[in-house]
Amino acid sequence: MRKILPGSPISLSSPPRISSLKLERIMATPPNIVIVGAGFAGLWAALSAARKLHLAGKPDGFVQIILIAPEPVICMRPRLYEADLSEASVSLVELLNAVSVRYVQGTVQHIDVEKNHLAYVSGTGNPSILTFDRLILATGSQLFRPQTVTGLAEYSWDVDQMDTALKLDAHLKSLAALPDSPARNTVVVCGGGFTGVEIAAEMPQRLRAILGEPTEVRVVVLERADAISPEMAAPPRPIIAEALASLGVEVLTGQTVVSVDAEGVTTASGMRIASKTVIWTAGMRANELTTQIPGTRDALGRLVVTQTLNVPGVDRIYATGDIAHVSTDDEGHLALMSCQHALYMGKCAGTNAMADVLGLAPEPYRKPQYAMCLALGAWGALYTVGWEHTISLVKAEGQKVKTFLPQPIPACRRNCIRSQIAE
């Protein structure tokens, strides 16, 4: 008789009849923790769950750890503003194998919190069902594109994911074949937040490399707030403005984009900028799978979770990374949609999910330390510490930190991973 394993293909339209013998076999299988998402939070949830199992003195397979994602690859999202993306992603196969985490290729479409299973489309396009004892949702965030901006979906570019960053790169390189014109030579970045500033600072150099050094290039940042980088504290803003100005980047504040077309962008004030390259960076939202989990959400769509990253009312489900709303310290600072928070939240979720299965005490999520490193093109980088963004390093010294931080995690042997993953 065929053994039924989690992740086996099952027709969603006609669920199979399960005999008592088959049911006994299913009940005899070890409990499992299913992690949805292979980003920073999902990867570290898997590694930390494996570590907790090892520290508890349990053998591999005592609790199955399953990671499901469309590809077994982590994308270094903080690097997608760069011109060279050849090292901005890395395979997770060797790393997951080293810690006995099972990878399932698939895209999750539905989560049934009452029946403890999720429906997904496998890598071969087949509908399948995966059951879980504990679920860690780590599906991340996505760029917010308001429908109120006419032509945004059709005519704008972005660096939200690897595929869209590659499309932008191909578009930029194609500009060299077009006749010289202000629209060809102008890039408009919509949004003066973290991502907008990084890509704007990189653009003058990228454009000159493509179009030729003598070409007059123009890079403009449109920010609807009254200052650049409005989500940051005040201290770094003058330095950011100074760095952008030294690179020749124009910053226009108080400008709300209302429409984008093939030849440019228009703002609510009536300003029109001719450009064949309008890049949208204005805001993020939690992945839409969060809407299938009963619970409270914040304005960004993130699930409000406990300090152990449980979703209240559905204790078998954990939310982590960009989809979780949780405080980082006793002062009430909230975790940000950033890799540094996702990494530590992933560790906490993986540790606690495994502890829950093993009947051990959970550990509350805490990350009182906060630092920020902003790439500013040829100028260098800005490194700040604390929630007040106290300036620590600038220019070349800041660039050393920025170059080091988003490097891929190397694949390691099992014992190395188990002994060296930090709490």
What is the third-level CATH fold of 145-280+369-423?
A: FAD/NAD(P)-binding domain (3.50.50)
Distance (Å, whole) CA 125 – CA 116: 22
Digit-coded pLDDT (tens) for 352-391: 999 999 999 999 999 999 999 999 999 999 999 999 999 9
Cα–Cα–Cα angle for 146, 149, 153, rounded to 5 degrees: 75
0.85 cut: is pTM over it? Answer: yes
**Fold of the CATH domain 20-143+285-368:** FAD/NAD(P)-binding domain (3.50.50)
Tell me the pLDDT tens digit for each residue of 348-360: 999 999 999 999 9
Q: What is the DSSP letter of 304?
A: E
Equal CATH topology for 20-143+285-368 and 145-280+369-423: yes
H/E/C letters for each residue in 218-273?
EEEEEECCCCCCCCCCCCCHHHHHHHHHHCCEEEEECCCEEEEECCEEEECCCCEE
Reduced DSSP (H G I as helix, E B as strand, rest coil) percent helix, strand, coil of the chain, to 5: 30, 25, 40
The token pair at 9 is 């293909």
Domain residue ranges of the chain, discontinuous segments joined by +: 20-143+285-368, 145-280+369-423
- According to DSSP, the residues that pair with 318 across neighbouring strands are 136, 310
- What does the pLDDT profile of the chain (423 residues) look like in tens digits? 333 344 444 344 444 454 444 443 344 589 999 999 999 999 999 999 999 999 999 999 999 999 999 999 999 998 999 999 999 999 999 999 999 999 999 999 999 999 999 999 999 999 999 999 999 999 999 999 999 999 999 999 999 999 999 999 999 999 999 999 999 999 999 999 999 999 999 999 999 999 998 889 999 999 999 999 999 999 999 999 999 999 999 999 999 999 999 999 999 999 999 999 999 999 999 999 999 999 999 999 999 999 999 999 998 999 999 999 999 999 999 999 999 999 999 999 999 999 999 999 999 999 999 999 999 999 999 999 999 999 999 999 999 998 876 554 443 333 444 444 434
- In terms of Cβ atoms closer than 10 Å to its own Cβ (0-12, 13-18, 19+), residue 26 is middle
